[in-house]
Amino acid sequence: MMGKMRVRRVFAMMALLAAAATVEAAETLRVTPILHDDRVVVSFELTDAYTDAIRQAIGSGLRTTFTYELELRTVGTAWLDRTIATVVVTTSDLYDNLTRRHTLSRTVDGRVEEVLVTDDESEVKTWLMRWSRVPLYQTSKLDPTRDYYVRVSARMRPLSGSLLGWAKPTVGQAKFTVIP
């Protein structure tokens, strides 16, 4: 009798933790792959993610970072798709409460690509949520007889998507065909 009660409590706690860890994201990720000059380049935008909670996190002076993982994949046999290339890009905002200025930085695979200092919030929003023409792979190395897609997943720090601190990424993808 005591063993059954203990098992029920454990299952109830597991269900509670699973419910607390799952939070639906209202954000959407629009992904646009472009084939240009022997390169697959990707533009993407995270819409509806610049919320009051994001503004508060930025306003607190904590470094706020959006990390986007871009993957070029091809449809594989059975259920496994093959990843051909991966690029990780990040955008960070460090707000200085004294000067009321944002120091924005962008990195591609760990290399700092660009830094901007601004006091314009609309520029901050655009900088954090939108990337244009990120180089991903050479089109000459792709097989024109196969189907490809680009998958982008986005995570944000310091905010998380759950009570337990496990953030569910926002994911978007777009298919394309290589025409030689």
| Tens of pLDDT, residue by residue, the chain (180 residues) | 555 544 344 333 333 333 333 333 456 999 999 999 999 999 999 998 888 988 999 999 999 999 999 999 998 877 788 999 999 999 999 999 999 999 999 999 999 999 999 999 999 999 999 999 999 999 999 999 899 999 999 998 876 555 445 567 899 999 998 887
Find out whether 157 and 166 touch, Cβ atoms under 8 Å. no
**Amino acid 166: pLDDT:** 54
What the block records as the tokens of 125 is 């929003």
Q: What is the pTM of this model?
A: 0.80
Tell me which residue range forms the domain holding 128: 2-176
The structural domain count of the chain equals 1
**Amino acid 167: pLDDT:** 62
Find out whether 34 and 133 touch, Cβ atoms under 8 Å. yes
As a whole number of Å, the CA-based R_g of the chain is 20
Among the listed residues 102, 111, 121, the one whose alpha carbon sits nearest the alpha carbon of residue 62: 102
**Amino acid 3: pLDDT:** 56
3-state DSSP assignment of residue 37? coil
Beta bridge partners of 114: 106
Around 151, how many Cα atoms within 13 Å sit in the side-chain half-sphere? 16
Show Cβ contacts of residue 146 under 8 Å, excluding neighbours closer than 6 positions.
74, 75, 178
